[in-house]
Structure 1
Amino acid sequence: MPDDGSSQLSRLKKLQCYIEKNYQRQIKIIEICNELHMSESSVYRLFERHFMESFADHLKRYRIGKACEKIINTELPIALIAEQTGFANLSNFNRQFKQQKRMTPSQFRSMFRHNRTKKKANA
């Protein structure tokens, strides 16, 4: 029988995999409960204890991280990136992005373009 630590670690890994595979669409807490075979209150506690944030905040932070990767590494339009990373509408994405990164997605992209151009010029 696994000790509590290893079963907790296993749940966290399952949780991370589930979010990685499904972050592009709406994820309901009940889906995670079913995936982990845990009650809703246990799942909420798991997020608070291990991530020090709520399920919604964790998912939002993960999605913004994925959006940052796409903004930096692709030329995709911001609206498409918002859609691909699970945000229902562009204005919500822009608001959430700015709240987390203290700049708009376009400013973020410009900053990285500017830094890339500067590095090339110095090379």
Structure 2
Amino acid sequence: MDFDDSEGKAVLTVYVEREPDEGYVLHVEHLAAPLRVNGTLLRLSPAPHVDRDAADFRRITAARTAATKAQAELDAAVSAARANGDSWEVIGAALGTSARTARERFGNTPGRP
């Protein structure tokens, strides 16, 4: 989330990133002055880069999220196709690959038929 000043210039950008261990990290960028929360000065270390834009970071995280959702949808579609009786040949053709490659990629995961 970007916070702008009265001239529309980004004063700071804040975003939360989920860590693999189920924790979260709060990121603050574009910070040009000390940050106070409820009157308490927060000391940030290392100092944030004032001249960086978080657009690339946001683009990467959005793409990663989209790829994760797309992979989950593909997994579900292949599982449904197998459950409905489609052969690996049909699934491979839909994936643009061979039946063997499709089976190797999707057939050996626990929980899949």
TM-score range, shorter chain: 0.3 to 0.5
Considering only CA atoms, is the larger Rg found in Structure 1 or Structure 2?
A: 2
Larger RCO (alpha carbons 8 Å, 6+ apart): 1
Structure holding more helix per residue: 1
TM-score, structure 1 as length reference: 0.34
